[in-house]
Chain A
Amino acid sequence: MRRARQLATVFLLLVALASAAAGFLAPSGYAHQFRDTPDASPSRQHWLGTDDLGRDRFARLLYGTRVSLCLAPAAALLSSLLAALIGGVAGFCGGRLEQLVLAGTDLFLSLPWLFLLITIRALLPLNLPPVTSVVITFMLLGCLGWAVAARVICSDAHLLRNCDFILLARASGLGGWRLLVRHLLPNLMPIVYAQFWLSIPIFILTEANLGILGLGVSEPLPSWGTLLRDLESCSSMSHLWQFAPLLLLIAAVSCFHLLVVDREFPA
Chain B
Amino acid sequence: MRRVLFTVLSLWLAFGSARAQSATQLRFCLRSEPKTFNPLLVEEDSSDTVRYLTGGVLVRLNRKTQKLEPGLATDWKVSRDGRTIAFTLRPGLKFSDGTSFSAADVAYTVQQMMEPSLHSPIGDTFRSGEGATESKILAADKVAISFPAPVAGLDRLFDQVAIMSASSAKKEMAVLGPYYVSENHAGSYLMLERNPNYWRQDAAGRPLPYIDSIRLDIQQNRDLELLRLERGEIDLVNSIDPEYYEKLVKEKPALAHDAGPSLDSEHMWFNQVPTAAISDYKKAWFQSANFRRAVSEAINRQDLARIAFRGHARPAVGIVSPANQFWFNDKLRPHPFDQKSALQRLQKDGFRLHDGVLRDVNGHVVEFSIITNAGNRYRERMATMIQQDLAGVGMKVNVVTLDFPSLIERITRTFTYEACLLGLVNTDLDPASVMNVWLSSAENHQWSPGEKKPATAWEAEIDRLMRAQASTLDDHRRKQYFDRVQEIAWEQEPFIYLVTKNALSAISTSLSNAQPVVLRPQVFWNVDELKLAPEVAATR
The answer to whether A and B touch in the complex, with CB atoms under 8 Å apart, is yes
Is there a chain A Cβ closer than 8 Å to B403's Cβ? yes
Evaluate contact between B303 and A35: CB separation under 8 angstroms.
Answer: yes
B315 to chain A, nearest CB (A): 15
Q: Does A45 contact B (CB under 8 A)?
A: no
Instruction: Give bound CA distance, A128 to B416, whole Å.
Output: 14
- B398 near A127 with CB under 8 A, answer yes
Q: Nearest chain-B residue to A215 (Cβ)? A: B374
**B399 touching A220 by the CB < 8 A rule?**
yes
Chain A positions within 8 Å of B417 at CB level:
126
Q: How many A-B residue pairs have CB under 8 A?
A: 60
Closest to A128 in B: B398
A35/B383 in contact, CB under 8 A: no
- Given the contacts A31-B388, A126-B369, A126-B418, A219 and B399 also touching, CB distance less than 8 Å: yes
A233 engages B243 (CB within 8 Å): yes
Could you tell me which residues of chain A, from 30 to 56, have a CB within 8 Å of some CB in chain B?
31-33, 35, 38, 52-54
A190 sits at the interface (CB 8 A): no
CB atoms of B403 and A118 under 8 A apart:
yes
CB contacts (< 8 Å) of B387 on chain A: these are 219-220
With A and B bound together, what is the CA distance between A53 and B310 in angstroms? 10
Any A CB within 8 A of the CB of B422: no
Contact between A219 and B384, CB atoms less than 8 A apart: yes
Instruction: Tell yes or no: A214 within 8 A of B by CB.
Output: yes
Is the pair A214, B243 in contact by a Cβ cutoff of 8 Å? no
- Contact pattern, B 341-377, Cβ under 8 Å of A = 1, otherwise 0: 0000000000000000000000000011101001101
Residue of A nearest to B403 (CB): A118
B402 at the A interface (CB under 8 A): yes
Closest to A124 in B: B400
Interface size class of B (residues with CB under 8 A): 20 to 34
Let me know if B385 is at the binding interface, CB within 8 A. Answer: yes
Among the interface residues A118, A126, A215, A220, which one has the most CB atoms of the partner chain B within 10 A?
A: A126
Question: Does B380 have its Cβ within 8 Å of any Cβ on chain A?
Answer: yes
Is there a chain A Cβ closer than 8 Å to B406's Cβ? yes
Q: Give every chain B residue within 8 A of A53 (Cβ-Cβ).
A: 307-308, 381, 384-385
Say if the beta carbon of B125 comes within 8 Å of chain A: no
A129 at the interface (CB under 8 A from B): yes
Shortest Cβ distance from A51 into B: residue: B381
In angstroms, Cα B322 to Cα A189, docked, is 70
A214 to B375, Cβ gap below 8 A? yes
25 A–B pairs (Cβ distance < 8 Å), ordered by A: A33-B384, A33-B388, A35-B303, A53-B381, A54-B307, A118-B406, A121-B402, A122-B403, A126-B398, A126-B400, A126-B417, A126-B418, A127-B367, A127-B398, A127-B418, A129-B398, A214-B401, A215-B403, A218-B399, A218-B401, A219-B384, A219-B387, A219-B399, A220-B387, A235-B250
Q: Chain B residues in contact with chain A, CB under 8 A?
A: 243, 246-247, 250, 303, 307-308, 367-369, 371, 374-375, 377, 380-381, 383-385, 387-388, 398-403, 406, 416-418
